[in-house]
Structure 1
Amino acid sequence: MKYGFVKVAAATPIIRVSDCKKNTDAIIAQIKEANIEGAALVNFPELCITGYTCSDLFLQQTLLKTAESSVYRIIEETKNLDIISVVGVPVAFREALYNCAAVIFKGKLLALVPKANIPNYSEFYEARHYTSGKNTDFEIEYAGRKTVLSDKVLFQNKNMSDFTLGVEICEDLWVAESPSIALAKSGATVICNPSTSDDTIGKAEYRRSLVRMQSGKLCCAYIYTDSGFGESTTDTVYSAQNIICENASLLSESERFTTGITYADIDVQKLMGERRRMSTFCYDNENVRRIYFDMPLTDTKLSRKFEQTPFVPSAKDDLSRRCKEIITMQATGLATRLAHTGIKNVVLGLSGGLDSTLALIVCVHAFDMLGIDRKNIHTVTMPCFGTTKRTKSNAEKLAEAYNVSFEEINITAAVRQHFIDIKHDESVTDITYENSQARERTKILMNLSNKYGGLVIGTGDLSELALGWATYNGDHMSMYAVNVSIPKTLVRYLTAYEAEISDGELKTVLLDVLDTPVSPELLPPDKNGEIAQKTEDVVGPYELHDFFLYYFVRFGFTPSKIYYLARHSFAGKYNNDTIKKWLVTFLKRFFSQQFKRSCLPDGPKVGSVTLSPRSDWRMPSDASVRIWLDELENQ
């Protein structure tokens, strides 16, 4: 459970209706199996000790007493295991019968949680036997233990309070006021639902959507366990559709009409972080019992995958759809700005690199939306000391293929004159040498925008903003920055998507742009005329930095947790020392370069991670990175 990861399990045993001994054998076996697999929590179906479909047998003392003895046996035979078991059982107390979940840990019956909403419609007639457990709160003795029977109870790990469990049962999920709402508002990050939900045509899709949305609404993990083989099929069939979701994401689902155990790794730290970000998630300290359990923080062997490119969908169909959507959002943002201002011209520095290519793609789509002549897109290439024939040629070909205006302004003489003015030795290829070129280009773009009555379109991307890899008052500045929330790894996929839907010369040149090394081209080419200055040689691989950025900004993870996840995701590609080296670089640059982000031009937000000082990221430029570096170093 280190770093907030908790392995959980949804277990459906093969049962026999009313055969408590057989069912208990199967339950104990699955608890032990889940424990061996490293699960900290296992959830079983509703009334699985007896079977859900016992009907009037639930009124038989023999069945109820045997069920209680079965709970005792489960407690005794799992008392040395560090795993919480949530097991469905009928419980008789005083004059009532309750449909309960027994919550068991290390030889203790932590509580009996009764079902609050008792269905009595269609194929369900539970009210014939069961009493609603709503607002119950009794201290009772059951299965040889003193415990509580309560529908308002939370189970919290003493060693990690973010792991707090609540329980609701089957129908409780399907009603308007689910008990899980109050449980989550009182602090539950994990909800277990022991269920017996019969199958009818189309119900599986609805059930899945219901679990996903409940986990999303409550910003929690939701473990839904369904009954399966062995329940009576007199009138109904059960498919054992076990579902584990986390904040609306489906982590794991069993194959229907099978039995066994479904696992998933949930991240309770992430869930708590999400709740803290949401000003609308209000904690409500209702009158709930908190029962504490002492589970040690051990390493969780992760089976969960963390994609190397978290900004990019892994499925090709999703990727194509997402790329189309993102480009449309970027183009709509620009089109709206143009329509609002009445401006019908834009000016764009076209280098032949990835970022400026994507900016041109966005401009073309925006102009097509508005029905404006593409010739009003004024692209400019401004070669200087580091420009290669390849990028310059690609800039020309792109402009021609898209049928936009194009001009070349060589800035070499102007930059040399500037060196003379500031008394800089041209042979010293330092930061002054580089940034003088970037600022000269921006000056030209700004002045051309006055000439054409247009907006200067920014080309810089989100990854460059995170690292401060931009020249202040150079390429850092524009009048509308269309790529401002697009990370470098996604820029590549968006450009590739445009190439995929294009043909002829346009497709050819876009593919060559994709094959060109990322570079600001501010230093002279090598002796073969190829790009010598490669960005990733200096700041590190963008795929690592985008990974760091996503988990640092989106979830507020600690550097040590980000390092842990990166080692897990990039194993075999980068060694641990390399990952740590570039993570330190990321942290230092992210903090030191905030002043550039504090004065960003407008640009469209398209994803959950942006660094706009007006909306998503507010940070003082003077903040110290020290405690983040210390936290990483101490691991």
Structure 2
Amino acid sequence: MYIALAQINPVVGDLHYNTEKILTYTEKAKSAGAELVVFPELTLTGYPPRDLLFCNKFLDAVEAGVEKLLPASRDIGILIGAPCRDAGKLYNAALLLHGGKVTGKQYKSLIPFYDVFDEQRYFTPARERNCIDFKGIKLGVTVCEDIWNDKDYWNQRRYDLDPVEEQVQKGAQLIVNLSASPYSYGKHRLRCDMLGKAAAKHGVGIIYVNQVGGNDHLLFDGSSCAVTRNGTVCLQLENFAEDFAFIDTRTLQEKTSDSCSVEDISWIYKALVIGTRDYLHKNGFHRAAVGLSGGIDSSITAAVAADALGPDNVIGVSMPSRYSSQGSKNDARDLARNLGIEYRVVPIENMFNAYVQVLNPDGTPLVDLAEENVQARIRGNILMYISNREGPMVLATGNKSEMAMGYSTLYGDMSGGLAVLADVPKVIVYELAEYINREREIIPRSVITKPPSAELRPGQKDEDSLPPYEILDAILKAYIEEIKSIDEIVSLGYDRDLVVDIARRVDRAEYKRQQAPPGLRVTSRAFGPGRRMPIAHRWHLE
């Protein structure tokens, strides 16, 4: 059988757009002679639709969308994902359309409720799992999480049931997985390994079709693939781009060389680019404004924005104060020139001086935290003024290391509609800079080599307030992503007082983070829906 893999980027809730895209790719598949075209999980609605699923009119429109697709299935099978009402319950369904009607249906069995997933809020698990017969082949159709519970692969399993194993026992000759699997760095290699082990274990080929694109804070890499019965990836689709490819099921019976692509820093960069582009475009924005300090975070943010939206759609704004070095001002100017973005200079000295004069008893600067933060807040106000008047979305520039430690200013550098680097540790920010400069110097070398500084007081350096980033990021990863205890982190070789101080500062900054704009998730545990900590609490690990 000749099968098409349609890796598409749906828009959550735009049923007309998604339906038309399904029809377009179905026609492409039919024209190429495919007998079946496979789309991602919840293709029709986009993933995750969240509380739209509580709206009956939305579900009515989903059913109308399925009806609209039926005529296109007269000469080809269409396997799509959609929410499905059945006997008063809602299911996350894979629907096979063929011959102008729905000829096969399999509901998702494993309903995740951890990390960023909250599907148990909406969906009921499938009561049974059966194969779908299509043109003489028994298809074991699974939906995303259904394929992630092999008892021989995972040390700890979240569910007692393995839908793949059950379908193979019922005679499945091919496993097809419709997926909307959010990306985090390192997940692609894990996914390839898991699929390969499952295929080899059961002696069946696997076709895996994943959503691509950004929806809110979640990024989907696509990276759809076909795996032979021997466990090798014989077809690999693009990462972070819509893609379309074909596989002959006879190939899945053969030994092939492994085509699983290798992750590197480019994956994080492409994730940020598609996440920024989709977040703005799907929210109706086409331009962005970035405050350019001459530092590395704002430089990376501006570079991502220029790539995502085009240089003509990015405004870089330098807002120097009395503490801004000439080097930083030059770096901001040179970066904007290298990127080809619009560059503006709006000095904040007069505004800052007005605050100092009004709020200090004798008008003399105290050079304290209040004066440091008011500079950031003046800059945030300037950017929001530009946003209100001219329409661009403001992009916040803080990285994960700073956000973790509360080294950021509410209503200042945290202002904006999207925090591009909110899940990128500082050490990876530097790797991104080198990647951006891989062919020519875009980010000035001095931005990369100078000690990071907020430049809010004379001689200020980040390491006056924070440990060296190499140490800080390692401890933050252990504490936030790996959820290790103080003792476990100390056992890795770190000073106990330092670990305790970092953990306490992370905990104390929760109130700030929950007022921050959404960030793009690229690690295994980001701030936001995947880390639901209380703001007001008195539990401390030490």
TM-score normalized with structure 2 length: 0.52
Partner of 2:266: 324
Matched, 1:408 2:350: no
Following TM superposition, by how much is the alpha carbon of 1:502 offset from its aligned partner in structure 2, in angstroms?
Answer: 2.1
Separation of aligned partners in 2, 1:327 and 1:186: 31
The superposition leaves residues 102-139 of structure 1 with CA deviations (integer Å, 9 ceiling, x where unpaired) of xxxxxxxxxxxxxxxxxxxxxxxxxxxxxxxxxxxxxx
| Match for residue 521 of structure 2 among 597, 602, 605 | 605
Separation of aligned partners in 1, 2:463 and 2:381: 27
| Match for residue 401 of structure 2 among 458, 463, 470 | 463
The superposition leaves residues 482-540 of structure 1 with CA deviations (integer Å, 9 ceiling, x where unpaired) of 1111111110100111112324xx3xx5322100111110002xxxxxxx111112221
Query: Which consecutive unaligned segments of at least 5 residues does structure 1 have?
Result: 1-176, 189-207, 218-316, 369-373, 525-531, 568-575, 630-635
8 Å Cα contact 2:419/2:517 also seen in 1: yes
Matched, 1:396 2:310: no
8 Å Cα contact 2:313/2:341 also seen in 1: yes
Separation of aligned partners in 2, 1:492 and 1:178: 37
Partner of 1:512: 446
Partner of 2:283: 341
8 Å Cα contact 2:399/2:423 also seen in 1: yes
Residue identity matched to 1:482: V
Separation of aligned partners in 2, 1:328 and 1:209: 19
8 Å Cα contact 2:479/2:503 also seen in 1: no
Total equivalences in the alignment = 303
Partner of 2:469: 542
Separation of aligned partners in 2, 1:519 and 1:181: 46
Following TM superposition, by how much is the alpha carbon of 1:215 offset from its aligned partner in structure 2, in angstroms?
Answer: 12
Partner of 2:314: 377
Following TM superposition, by how much is the alpha carbon of 1:582 offset from its aligned partner in structure 2, in angstroms?
Answer: 2.4
Partner of 1:559: 486
Following TM superposition, by how much is the alpha carbon of 1:187 offset from its aligned partner in structure 2, in angstroms?
Answer: 12
The structure-2 alpha-carbon separation of the partners of 1:186 and 1:413, relative to structure 1 and needing over 3 Å to count, comes to: closer
The structure-2 alpha-carbon separation of the partners of 1:327 and 1:184, relative to structure 1 and needing over 3 Å to count, comes to: closer
8 Å Cα contact 1:587/1:625 also seen in 2: no
**How does 1:69-468 map onto structure 2 within 5 Å?**
180=152, 213=194, 321-368=263-310, 374-423=311-360, 425-468=363-406
Matched, 1:485 2:406: no
Partner of 1:620: 534
Separation of aligned partners in 2, 1:210 and 1:409: 48
SS state of the match for residue 444, structure 2? Answer: helix
The superposition leaves residues 450-509 of structure 1 with CA deviations (integer Å, 9 ceiling, x where unpaired) of 122110011011111100000111112211111111111110100111112324xx3xx5
The superposition leaves residues 175-222 of structure 1 with CA deviations (integer Å, 9 ceiling, x where unpaired) of xx988489966999xxxxxxxxxxxxxxxxxxx9999639998xxxxx
The structure-2 alpha-carbon separation of the partners of 1:185 and 1:535, relative to structure 1 and needing over 3 Å to count, comes to: closer
Separation of aligned partners in 2, 1:442 and 1:556: 33
The superposition leaves residues 84-113 of structure 1 with CA deviations (integer Å, 9 ceiling, x where unpaired) of xxxxxxxxxxxxxxxxxxxxxxxxxxxxxx
Residue identity matched to 1:346: A
The structure-2 alpha-carbon separation of the partners of 1:472 and 1:216, relative to structure 1 and needing over 3 Å to count, comes to: farther
TM-score normalized with structure 1 length: 0.45
Separation of aligned partners in 1, 2:158 and 2:418: 44
Residue identity matched to 1:598: Q
Separation of aligned partners in 2, 1:182 and 1:551: 21
The structure-2 alpha-carbon separation of the partners of 1:362 and 1:182, relative to structure 1 and needing over 3 Å to count, comes to: closer
Residue identity matched to 1:522: L
Separation of aligned partners in 2, 1:356 and 1:210: 33
Residue identity matched to 2:454: P
Residue identity matched to 2:407: W
The structure-2 alpha-carbon separation of the partners of 1:414 and 1:179, relative to structure 1 and needing over 3 Å to count, comes to: closer
Residue identity matched to 1:542: Y
The structure-2 alpha-carbon separation of the partners of 1:182 and 1:439, relative to structure 1 and needing over 3 Å to count, comes to: closer
The structure-2 alpha-carbon separation of the partners of 1:340 and 1:554, relative to structure 1 and needing over 3 Å to count, comes to: same
Query: Which consecutive unaligned segments of at least 5 residues does structure 2 have?
Result: 1-148, 161-188, 199-260
Percent of aligned positions that are identical: 27
Following TM superposition, by how much is the alpha carbon of 1:624 offset from its aligned partner in structure 2, in angstroms?
Answer: 2.6
SS state of the match for residue 484, structure 2? Answer: coil
The superposition leaves residues 209-253 of structure 1 with CA deviations (integer Å, 9 ceiling, x where unpaired) of 999639998xxxxxxxxxxxxxxxxxxxxxxxxxxxxxxxxxxxx
SS state of the match for residue 336, structure 2? Answer: helix
Matched, 1:580 2:496: yes
The structure-2 alpha-carbon separation of the partners of 1:499 and 1:420, relative to structure 1 and needing over 3 Å to count, comes to: same
The structure-2 alpha-carbon separation of the partners of 1:212 and 1:365, relative to structure 1 and needing over 3 Å to count, comes to: closer
Separation of aligned partners in 2, 1:210 and 1:358: 29
Following TM superposition, by how much is the alpha carbon of 1:581 offset from its aligned partner in structure 2, in angstroms?
Answer: 3.3
Separation of aligned partners in 2, 1:356 and 1:474: 14
Separation of aligned partners in 2, 1:379 and 1:550: 31
Separation of aligned partners in 2, 1:618 and 1:395: 36
Residue identity matched to 2:339: Y
SS state of the match for residue 395, structure 1? Answer: helix
For the pair shown, the structure with the greater C-alpha radius of gyration is 1
Computed over aligned residues only, the root mean square deviation of the Cα atoms, in angstroms, reads: 3.0
8 Å Cα contact 1:435/1:471 also seen in 2: yes
8 Å Cα contact 2:151/2:157 also seen in 1: no
Matched, 1:594 2:521: no
Residue identity matched to 1:440: I
